[in-house]
């Protein structure tokens, strides 16, 4: 802080006044030196606001400073030292096996043995996600309102993309154990990609069956898929164990691949045809199956949740209430529903794909934060978490040191 008084003012006020001004100026300067700045009190984040004339804004006066601050914001470390310490103590636990998973194991085992030992598991994971996202975006380009008919090859690409994603998602954990490179980062990376993939998968299948003509059903199916994925990790957050049911993600993915193939072969006429006895369109059948699957899955999830957690006094593994995660996903869904029903511009009906993606990314972020983790903020958070965990565990994200020979480990499941 500074107090500046002109010579003319001091002279006109007389000698006594000038001396008083000097004493005040000296006192204020000494007070400013003794008082710590808000930057030092707040750590790295500065809260003081210097005048714009002495420090130009990053967007106009100093572009280099703006880019530097943006990069620093992107790479900041979201996790505390205590969280990193608990991360070292984390051990992945899962239970159960789905109906078709044992049949798929032979294909997954055969494929993973053909992979070079130098390929990092996280590279496999991110490749599967990239393929799935790209094929869904192609479908979105042709069907922005989920009412149009896309070319046959677009549906086939989505079916193939989902199969590739399923396969790579299944063998990334096997590759991690094969190369002895399993880590908590691998688990978080795997589930983070799954949370994003869920958004694109449910959106892609709604486009394929042209549910845009029934916006209520499309809204329900998309958010039901996101909610069930969230609940799967919610019950893990409570019990400490990721549980798989008889009908789980493998069966759902194969069913969705079948729907993509039906869309390629039948087209618009197939989905709009009526079922004679039930007097409903064929496209409503997948939506009804989502209702049945949601009831079945959520019953199992909430049975675990309401039984009580493994923490103190029946709390979660983090020591919080078992019902606390509902606040986050509940806020997202309620807000999305309010905008859908109250929008005077029919925002959801005119832009269903972008609407689902926007809220889907928010749901993906809160799901990942539940595991330990809208659009650009999710990227920033993911980059920061991965870099910080990799640095703390002294490992690379997309690179491993291959062992001299594959590690033979008894496989219990295909996750990290």
Q: Which residues are catalytic?
A: 191
Contacts 24+ apart (CB under 8 A), 325-333: 325/230, 325/234, 325/237, 325/370, 326/234, 328/366, 328/369, 328/370, 329/227, 329/230, 329/363, 329/366, 332/359, 332/362, 332/363, 332/366, 333/223, 333/227
90: left (phi over 0), alpha (psi -120 to 50) or beta: beta
Tokens of 160: 């193939």
Tell me which residue of 43, 68, 71, 49 sits closest to 58, measured CA to CA.
68
Tell me which residue of 364, 384, 383 sits closest to 374, measured CA to CA.
364
Rounded CA-CA distance 416/408 in Å is 15
Rounded CA-CA distance 325/345 in Å is 32
**Do the Cβ atoms of 56 and 62 come closer than 8 Å?**
yes
**Eight-state DSSP code of residue 58:** T
**Do the Cβ atoms of 339 and 347 come closer than 8 Å?**
yes
- Cα 328 to Cα 332, 362, 372, distances in angstroms: 7, 10, 15
**Do the Cβ atoms of 105 and 414 come closer than 8 Å?**
yes
Tokens of 333: 């869904």
Check the CA dihedral 389-395-400-403 and report its sign: negative
Tokens of 102: 């044992």
């Amino acid at each position: 802080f500074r107090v500046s008084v002109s010579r003319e003012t001091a002279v006109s006020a007389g000698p006594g006044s000038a001396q008083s001004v000097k004493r005040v100026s000296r006192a204020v300067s000494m007070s400013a030196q003794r008082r710590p700045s808000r930057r030092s009190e707040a750590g790295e984040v500065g809260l003081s606001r210097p005048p714009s004339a002495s420090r130009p804004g990053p967007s106009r006066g100093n572009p280099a400073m703006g880019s530097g601050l943006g990069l620093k914001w992107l790479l900041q470390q979201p996790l505390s030292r205590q969280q990193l310490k608990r991360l070292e103590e984390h051990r992945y636990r899962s239970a159960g096996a789905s109906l078709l998973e044992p049949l798929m194991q032979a294909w997954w085992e055969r494929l993973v043995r053909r992979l070079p030992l130098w390929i990092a598991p996280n590279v496999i994971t991110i490749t599967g996600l990239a393929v799935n996202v790209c094929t869904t975006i192609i479908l979105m380009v042709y069907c922005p309102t989920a009412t149009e008919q896309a070319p046959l090859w677009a549906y086939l690409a989505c079916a193939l993309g989902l199969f590739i994603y399923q396969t790579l998602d299944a063998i990334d954990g096997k590759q991690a154990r094969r190369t002895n490179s399993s880590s908590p980062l691998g688990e978080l990376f795997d589930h983070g990609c799954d949370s994003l993939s869920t958004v694109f998968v449910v959106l892609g299948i709604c486009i394929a069956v042209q549910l845009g003509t029934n916006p209520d059903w499309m809204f329900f199916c998309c958010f039901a898929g996101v909610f069930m994925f969230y609940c799967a990790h919610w019950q893990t957050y409570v019990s400490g164990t990721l549980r798989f049911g008889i009908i789980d993600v493998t069966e759902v993915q194969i069913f969705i691949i079948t729907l993509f193939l039906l869309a390629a072969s039948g087209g618009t006429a197939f989905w709009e045809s009526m079922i004679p006895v039930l007097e409903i369109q064929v496209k409503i059948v997948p939506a009804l199956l989502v209702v049945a699957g949601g009831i079945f899955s959520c019953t199992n999830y909430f049975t675990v949740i309401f039984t009580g957690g493994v923490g103190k006094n029946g709390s979660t593994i983090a020591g919080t209430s078992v019902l606390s995660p509902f606040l986050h996903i509940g806020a997202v869904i309620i807000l999305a529903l309010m905008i859908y029903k109250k929008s005077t511009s029919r925002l959801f009906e005119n832009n269903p794909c972008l609407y689902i993606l926007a809220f889907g990314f928010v749901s993906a972020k809160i799901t990942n934060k539940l595991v330990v983790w809208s659009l650009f903020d999710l990227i920033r958070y993911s980059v920061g978490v991965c870099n910080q965990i990799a640095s703390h565990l002294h490992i690379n994200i997309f690179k491993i040191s291959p062992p001299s020979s594959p590690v033979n480990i008894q496989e219990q499941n295909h996750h990290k």
